[in-house]
């Protein structure tokens, strides 16, 4: 019986590996070639001369990801990402909102994969931070729940369900994950240029914090390996979704994490966000999230 169970595990591992390889090949085909937007993918209208918003470095133009939303701050150019999980609730990074009053927070919902999407704006009426959140350049327990003042239109087709639990370690390198955002595509310090459509990139999971390093991934974090060369999240891409794809497809299945921070390499002082992407592990917070969704 044990032999049969082990054989089944090996079979499913090989099947998922084949499907991941097939899916990753599809990413690189014409189906996902960048669209020919006016003036290319960059727009000078999106240049900001300071650290201000989310970044996905070396990503691709994303297909519609209706669960992605932008969190805006009153009278500021800054924004963060957010993930819609129900009609009234979104998840984001605690570091985005812990010092900002809810009166100055608004949620922008749209199909950001379009050049000129129709946008809906929602006031934030409640902010719930993780009780153990600790701000730093590598924040601890970096999660917040936000409640909108009115139901998000079309939320039934936008919300992404939470993944039921952590992925078994045997599948970490065999499962495809994605994240999306609207931030800068440049890694040079103090130089920022922003895309005019939503960007997406792809990861597998890692047990270690950095490549070629034995330092274990922190318990509240998800550590990743980019599948597109040198592709990372950066700066205020905090709050954006990390989602698991259905096996063998590019269709998001469930919400696995929330973007938290990226690191810089010490040997490239003029470059940023080139040493890993780190996400909040939602399986650590699953009971806390469910409690507040029921009681808020």
Q: What is the DSSP string of 67-111?
A: TEEEEEETT-S-EEEEEE-SSSEEEE-HHHHTTS-GGGEEEEES-
Calpha distance 109→118 (Å, rounded): 9
Angle at 144 between CA 296 and CA 282, to 5 degrees: 100
Predicted local confidence at residue 160, as pLDDT: 94
> Collapsing DSSP states into helix, strand and coil, what is residue 209?
coil
Q: What's the CA dihedral at 283, 95, 296, 154 to 10 degrees?
A: -80
The pTM of this model reads: 0.82
Per residue in 163-190, is it b (16+ CB within 10 Å) or e — as a string?
beeebeeebbebbbbbbbbbbbbbbeee
pLDDT score of 200 more than 50: yes
Q: 19: which strand partners?
A: none
pLDDT at 155: 81
- Tens of pLDDT along 77-105? 889 999 999 999 999 999 999 999 999 99
pLDDT > 90? residue 178 = yes
Using a pLDDT cut of 90, give the percent of the chain over it: 56
- The residue count of the chain comes to 296
Distance CA(294)–CA(296), nearest Å, equals 6
Structure confidence by residue, pLDDT tens digits, 201-233: 999 999 988 766 778 999 999 999 999 887 888
177, 242 Cβ separation under 8 angstroms: yes
């Amino acid at each position: 019986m044990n032999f049969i169970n082990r054989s089944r595990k090996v079979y499913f591992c090989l099947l998922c590996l084949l499907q991941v390889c097939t899916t990753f090949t599809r990413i690189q085909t014409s189906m996902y070639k960048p669209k020919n937007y006016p003036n290319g993918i960059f727009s000078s209208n999106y240049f900001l001369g300071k650290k201000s918003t989310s970044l996905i470095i070396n990503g691709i133009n994303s297909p519609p990801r209706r669960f992605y939303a932008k969190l805006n701050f009153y009278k500021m150019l800054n924004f963060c990402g957010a993930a819609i999980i129900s009609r009234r609730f979104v998840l984001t990074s605690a570091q985005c909102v812990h010092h900002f009053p809810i009166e100055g927070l608004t949620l922008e919902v749209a199909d950001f994969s379009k050049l000129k999407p129709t946008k809906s704006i929602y006031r934030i009426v409640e902010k719930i931070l993780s009780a153990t959140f600790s701000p730093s350049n590598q924040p601890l327990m970096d999660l917040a729940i936000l409640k909108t003042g009115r139901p998000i239109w079309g939320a039934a087709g936008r919300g992404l369900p939470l993944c039921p639990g952590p992925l078994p370690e045997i599948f970490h390198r065999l499962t495809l994950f994605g994240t999306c955002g609207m931030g800068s595509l440049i890694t040079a310090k103090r130089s920022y240029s922003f895309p005019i459509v939503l960007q997406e990139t792809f990861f597998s999971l890692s047990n270690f914090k950095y490549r070629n390093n034995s330092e274990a991934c922190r318990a509240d974090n998800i550590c990743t390996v980019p599948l597109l060369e040198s592709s990372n999240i950066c700066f205020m891409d905090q709050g954006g979704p990390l989602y698991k794809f259905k096996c063998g497809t590019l269709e998001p299945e469930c919400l696995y994490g929330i973007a938290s921070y990226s690191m810089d390499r010490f040997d490239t002082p003029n470059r940023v966000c080139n040493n890993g992407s780190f996400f909040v592990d939602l399986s650590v917070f699953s009971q806390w999230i469910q409690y507040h969704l029921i009681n808020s």
